[in-house]
Amino acid sequence: KTSKMQYYNNPMWPGEAHSLKVEKILYQGKSPYQEILVLESSTYGNVLVLDGIVQLTDKDECAYQEMVTHLPLCSIPSPKNVLVVGGGDGGVLREIARHDSVETIDICEIDQLVIDVCKEFFPNLSIGYKDPRVRLHVGDAVDFLRNSPEGKYDAIIVDSSDPIGPAQALVEKPFFQTIARALKSGGVLCNLAESMWLHTHLIQDMLAICRQTFKGAVHYAWTSVPTYPSGVIGFLLCAKEGRPVNFLTPVNPIEKIQGATKAGKELRFYNSEIHRAAFVLPTFVRRELESY
């Protein structure tokens, strides 16, 4: 039985913990990379937990998966080739599938067990794998990107876990450089960028690296996800030079996209107004990020 104190020891959010009432433990296992737990909660549906950290719940996954996907894909006129780094649950694949302009969807997930578990316990997310445009690569994204041809992707979405564990390398400069090389000119990256309440230094470091690596626009955006620490999560939107990209006004509004309902479920969170709102920052965040 884990003592209460252990819950407060995660270095990413020391001294705080989030609790959910659990009806049943649906799965408990360990892959070569992480501990995997699936819980049936009383009020948030099924919950995926990796190394003790909530990755997603049925109730609020729409906020994260829709924003991490449509903030980049609605910012360029007609994305064709898209890469997902991580994202083994399939939720981002489900969201990309709404865009009819997309021709190929590559996904590089390191942990096969996460894929298998999500196919069993999260059918509303793993539905994403059913799209014929999806090509799954199980392995390390650092190697995958190093071997990717230059200038292949219109958009790359890094849907990773927190940078403590298998996703550690995904916030370091060499990784961002391999992403920039794999993007077409004017291509866009959307990267997980943690919480404005908890991770100012990490966000500042990532902003500094991205401004050096991507000569186009670089913006921090955020959204509400109740089951993530501090109840919000951030995204870093980066554009490679070569074409003007204005992240703040969607050029490819999802409401106009026929595929909007194709993914078997209507959008539940994203729309063009919340796209614009995501880039509006509280005053303390503007101050903390302005010189980065």
Ligand X SMILES: NCCCN[C@H]1CC[C@H](N)CC1
Distance CA 269, CA 267 (A): 6
Pick 189 or 245: Cβ nearer ligand X: 189
Contact between 111 and ligand X per CB under 6 A: no
Q: What are the helix and strand counts (H, E) for the chain?
A: 10, 11
Q: Give min distance, CB of 285 to ligand X, in A.
A: 18
* Dihedral sign from CA coordinates of 114, 119, 124, 127: positive
Return the number of the residue (209 or 233) whose C-beta is nearest ligand X. 233
With H, G, I as helix, E, B as strand and everything else as coil, classify residue 118.
helix
Q: Which of 72, 87, 216, 250 forms a contact with ligand X (CB under 6 A)?
A: 87
Who's near 175: CB < 8 A, 6+ residues apart? 141, 142, 145, 169
89 binds ligand X (CB under 6 A): yes
The reply to whether 121 sits near ligand X by the rule CB under 6 A is: no
Residue 194 is which amino acid?
E
Give the span between the Cα atoms of 18 and 46, in whole angstroms.
16
Which is the catalytic residue, given 131, 154, 159, 162? 159
Contact 177, 58 (CB under 8 A): no
159 catalytically annotated: yes
Q: What is the dihedral of CA 175, 192, 284, 248, to 10 degrees?
A: 100
Nearer to ligand X, 65 or 81 (CB): 65
Binding status of residue 91 toward ligand X by CB under 6 A: yes
Nearest to 227 by CA among 24, 66, 49: 49
Binding mask 35-74 for ligand X (x = CB under 6 A): ------------------x-xx-------x----------
| Window 174-203: residues binding ligand X (CB under 6 A) | 192
**Does residue 228 belong to the site contacting ligand X (CB under 6 A)?**
yes
* Residues with catalytic function: 159
Binding site residues, ligand X, CB under 6 A: 53, 55-56, 64, 87, 89, 91, 159, 161-162, 192, 228, 233
